[in-house]
């Protein structure tokens, strides 16, 4: 083996010592551990996370219930409406009012309310029909309104969790004398921002479902009011034509 001269060995040792000194001064960065969404969720689990998860479960239940309730067959049952129209066409308004009394949809309630109005004048019957129609439509709007409330509160709750997490992260930085490891500080900020992500994941489906269901309620209520107005007008015309049978119809 070829010998290394003394000056060469001294030069190699000097370079190695310089490199070692540079490494000690700079500090060796700790290996970066990859953190997934589940890891962030576990590490940032606190009261705000519990509230957001509870809100998500409630939102899912409301969305499922809304999709089952806000349907044409529920708000505008085709068989019942077709039956009342057939009875009106046949002039059997007494049976039509009885069918409306048994029906719990918007059309049935409006027609029965108009027929049972104490004020039997056309204006009184129409006013009663409009009042009941407004009440029934408002009842359906209230069913989907909780989704709007949760959708608006979700981001605010997530922001509150983020602010709290940022306070804790910078509090730890202050306790370390402002010399905390940047990797640790970044992880703390990531955990804080995870609450904002949870809030947005809660808000987006809620607001989307609320917009869809509210549009359905609006369309079905308008259609129900048109059908009910037609039946009430035909009932009023029948009573005018045959006033002696008005009591029997009611």
Cβ neighbours around 29 below 10 Å, total: 9
pLDDT single digits (tens) 178-222: 666 666 677 777 778 888 888 999 999 999 999 999 999 999 999
H/E element holding 79?
Answer: helix 78-89
Q: Are 126 and 248 in contact (CB under 8 A)?
A: no
Q: Are 110 and 235 in contact (CB under 8 A)?
A: no
Q: Return the higher-pLDDT residue of 28 and 170.
A: 170
Name the average pLDDT for the chain.
81
Give the pLDDT of residue 245: 52
Cβ neighbours around 56 below 10 Å, total: 17
pLDDT single digits (tens) 112-129: 999 998 888 889 999 999
Give the pLDDT of residue 7: 52
Residues contacting residue 200 through CB under 8 Å, at least 6 positions apart? 154, 155, 158
Instruction: Name which of 131, 133, 81 is nearest 102 in CA terms.
Output: 81
Global model pTM greater than 0.85: no
Among the ranges 22-26, 38-42, 167-171, 232-236, which has the highest mean pLDDT value?
232-236
> For the chain, what percent of residues have pLDDT higher than 90?
52
pLDDT single digits (tens) 6-35: 554 444 444 444 444 454 444 444 444 555
Give the C-alpha separation, 123 to 121, whole Å.
5
What angle is formed at CA 149 by the lines to CA 143 and CA 154, rounded to 5 degrees? Answer: 135
Q: Are 192 and 169 in contact (CB under 8 A)?
A: yes
H/E element holding 138?
Answer: helix 122-175
Give the C-alpha separation, 112 to 151, whole Å.
37
Instruction: Name which of 73, 70, 92, 79 is nearest 231 in CA terms.
Output: 92
Give the C-alpha separation, 203 to 32, whole Å.
32
Q: Are 235 and 116 in contact (CB under 8 A)?
A: no
Place of tokens 């049976």: 95
Question: What value does the CA radius of gyration of the chain take, rounded to a whole number of Å?
Answer: 36
Give the pLDDT of residue 218: 95
What angle is formed at CA 24 by the lines to CA 22 and CA 27, rounded to 5 degrees? Answer: 105
């Amino acid at each position: 083996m070829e010998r290394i001269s003394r000056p060469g060995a001294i030069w190699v040792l000097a370079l190695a010592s310089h490199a070692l000194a540079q490494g000690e001064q700079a500090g060796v960065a700790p290996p970066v551990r990859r953190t997934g969404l589940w890891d962030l969720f576990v590490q940032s689990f606190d009261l705000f996370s519990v509230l957001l998860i509870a809100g998500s479960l409630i939102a899912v239940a409301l969305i499922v219930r809304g999709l089952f309730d806000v349907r044409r067959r529920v708000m505008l049952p085709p068989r019942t409406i077709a039956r009342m129209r057939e009875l009106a066409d046949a002039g059997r308004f007494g049976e039509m009012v009885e069918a409306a009394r048994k029906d719990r949809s918007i059309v049935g309630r409006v027609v029965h309310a108009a027929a049972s109005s104490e004020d039997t004048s056309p204006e009184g019957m129409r006013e009663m029909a409009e009042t009941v129609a407004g009440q029934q439509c408002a009842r359906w709007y209230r069913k989907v309104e909780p989704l709007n409330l949760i959708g608006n509160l979700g981001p605010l709750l997530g922001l509150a969790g983020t602010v709290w997490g940022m306070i804790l992260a910078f509090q730890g930085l202050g306790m370390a004398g402002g010399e905390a490891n940047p990797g640790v500080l970044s992880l703390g900020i990531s955990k804080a921002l995870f609450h904002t992500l949870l809030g947005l994941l809660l808000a987006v489906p809620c607001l989307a479902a609320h917009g869809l269901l509210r549009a359905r309620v609006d369309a079905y209520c308008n259609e129900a009011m048109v059908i009910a107005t037609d039946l009430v007008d035909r009932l009023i015309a029948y009573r005018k034509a045959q006033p002696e049978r008005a009591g029997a119809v009611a």
